[in-house]
Amino acid sequence: MTSKAKATSSKLPLRWPWLKKRNVGQQPENQPEVPTRQVDLDRETNSVRIQPVPRGPVPVGNPSNHATPSSSEERRLEEPTSREARASTSGLEMTQVTTVSSAEASSSLFPNASNFVVKRLHVDASQHGSNSNDPSGWERLLQNTAPNALHDSDYRFDPPKCDEDTRVEVTGELMGWIQDRDSPQRLLCMTGAAGSGKSALQQTVAEECSGLDILASTFFFSSTDPTRNTVSAVIPTIAYQLGFNNPTLREAISAAVNKDPLIFKKSLKTQMNRLIITPFEDLSKAILKPELTALPYAILIDGLDECTDEQRQAELLATIDDCLIQNDPLPFRVFITSRPEWAIRSALEVAGHLYDKAYHIQLSDQYDASGDIRRVLWRRLRDIGRRSGDTRAQSPSWPSKEEIETLVVNASGQFIYAATVIKFVSERRSSPVDRLRSVVTWTPEDRAQPFAALDLLYTNILSAAKEAYEAAHPERDFLLLLRAYQLMQYSDWISPLFSLFASDVAELFDLEDNAHSTYRSPDYD
């Protein structure tokens, strides 16, 4: 036997690296060389090539002459030095040249082979069974949703909503519009100042629509929650809720994600078309019209202004317009709330693309909330008094009418003021009587901070406005201009100069011509 043949026959059989070592009998050196074949995996065709090795007359050995392991004296196995195992994303690849005996081949990948050489073996685990690293289309969709944005999310536990017998008129108008499916305007936009109660109204409408089985989806933006302060999760979250309500839609949406796993990196319009419009259009062709109209159809989006990028706000509005509003066969009616910031304001103005298509409610202008605020304060403060251990708070004369009216005037129609007062007074470790007195007589020098939440809200609003304005006009001081506007608004000499202020203030402060309308105080809106 040649030295080359000896080297080949002395190597150990191929063992998988995750299996335990076991004693394997070795062929003695005086055993005649057994003809072998080479087995190679063709990477191009994923097939096995068996190449015969030239041979001459070779006597067949007797397997009984093979050495076998002894129970009393086991042989130490040496790790082969020619094996190279490389793990990759496509599978496990091993390079090995070795001789496998017939006894060992019977329990291997090739049970009927006698003696052969495994030259190169490639195992692709992704082709066998399920792989946890390759989720289904529906699982991919779930990974790109924002659960915190749902109206019934646990993250939004005890969300703000309208008290009983408050905001009755505006709630009635909102629900009337949603249920009037013959109305030509299928988009409703409600704008209002921060704290005017938009989110409470949206939550109330969502719960009423859910009770009527007409709620298709909700999305509540929040500037402080990174999972829902961008538009990236809006379309997947809406698609999830539509698929959750209808198994056929779920299968179609899942198939769309499987077809294009990168769909969540595409534009909002592409996502809307592939994840919502196309599946819904296919469903509408497969069912009767009465069944289609019976599906949930109300889509509610709250706090568009809380999205961190104004350009993406505008993109979302344009996508809703192109894909939902202008698509007549679809049954959806969309209700969006927002502060009157640039994106929605420019879309709703006379020259905007939503001017003729949207039903617009300006909450602060069209509805006087003073009566509702008065009722909420009375009811909530009386409840706090009854639960309090302070006998003064349990008196029927608390709170006084004068205190309530002072609070109503201070609220200026903003529900957030009333909500902040109620939260401050309801502190269990303090007297509600003393805390209410602190609110009514509060000055910035007081140690108590009853309006900390309110201060934080408006501080964040002004900080965002300052950053945006000074990014566009780095040579200007936003706070200085704001202070100038404030002084001109509240000074005694503003009245006779008001017309002059409106027309000439831009020149006075060296601003652009429309600055007085773009950056004016909310009280002028």
DSSP string, 252-294: HHHHHHHH-TTGGGS-HHHHHIIIIIHHHHHHHHHS-HHHHHT
Contact 219, 149 (CB under 8 A): yes
Q: Is the pLDDT of residue 61 over 80?
A: no
Confidence of residue 446 (pLDDT cuts 50, 70, 90): low
Q: Cβ–Cβ contacts within 10 Å for residue 252, how many?
A: 23
Q: Is the pLDDT of residue 415 over 50?
A: yes
Contact 428, 164 (CB under 8 A): no
Give pLDDT, residue 326: 92
d(CA 108, CA 384): 78
Q: Do β-strands 298-302 and 333-338 pair in parallel, antiparallel, or remain unpaired?
A: parallel
Contact 305, 148 (CB under 8 A): no
In the chain, % of residues over pLDDT 90: 47
d(CA 237, CA 141): 8
d(CA 229, CA 106): 61
Q: Is the pLDDT of residue 524 over 50?
A: no
Give the orientation angle of helix 370-387 with respect to helix 401-411, to 10 degrees. Answer: 130
Query: Domain segments of the chain: what residues?
Result: 137-362, 369-448
Give pLDDT, residue 115: 61
d(CA 185, CA 177): 9
AA identity, residue 458: Y
Q: Is the pLDDT of residue 478 over 80?
A: yes
Q: Is the pLDDT of residue 329 over 90?
A: no
Phi, psi dihedral angles at 336 (to 5 degrees): -120, 135
3-state SS class at 163 = coil
Q: Cβ–Cβ contacts within 10 Å for residue 30, how many?
A: 8
Query: Taking the chain, what is the end-to-end CA distance rounded to the nearest angstrom?
Result: 101
Q: Is the pLDDT of residue 250 over 70?
A: yes
What's CA 509's distance to the chain center, in Å? 43
DSSP letters for 93-120: EEE---EE-HHHHTTSS-TT--SEEEEE
Rg (alpha carbons) of the chain, rounded to whole number: 37
Which residues are CB-contacts of 290 (< 8 A; sequence separation ≥ 6)?
none
Which DSSP state fits 74? P
Question: Of how many residues is the chain composed?
Answer: 525
Q: Is the dihedral of CA 332, 337, 340, 343 positive or negative?
A: negative
Longest dimension (CA), the chain: 122
The predicted-structure confidence for 194-247, as pLDDT tens digits, reads as follows 889 999 999 999 999 999 999 999 999 999 999 999 999 999 999 999 999 999
Which residues are CB-contacts of 77 (< 8 A; sequence separation ≥ 6)?
12, 21, 23, 24
CA-angle at 217, arms to 135 and 312, nearest 5°: 80
Q: Tokens in use for 26? A: 């070795």
Give pLDDT, residue 517: 53
The predicted-structure confidence for 22-50, as pLDDT tens digits, reads as follows 444 444 445 454 444 444 545 444 444 54
Q: Is the pLDDT of residue 400 over 90?
A: yes
The residue assigned the tokens 């009418």 is 401
CA-angle at 178, arms to 176 and 181, nearest 5°: 100
Contact 451, 442 (CB under 8 A): yes
d(CA 423, CA 261): 46
d(CA 189, CA 337): 6
Residue 74: Cβ-neighbour burial (10 angstroms; 0-12, 13-18, 19+): exposed
**Mean pLDDT, rounded, of the chain:** 77
d(CA 273, CA 98): 56
The predicted-structure confidence for 489-511, as pLDDT tens digits, reads as follows 555 444 444 444 544 566 666 77
Give pLDDT, residue 230: 96
CATH architecture of the domain formed by 137-362? 3-Layer(aba) Sandwich (3.40)
d(CA 148, CA 133): 25
Give pLDDT, residue 498: 46
Q: Is the pLDDT of residue 90 over 60?
A: no
Mean pLDDT for the stretch of residues 240-263: 96
Residue with more model confidence, 102 or 283: 283
Q: Tokens in use for 93? A: 């690849």
Q: Is the pLDDT of residue 100 over 70?
A: no
Give pLDDT, residue 412: 84
Residue with more model confidence, 83 or 511: 511
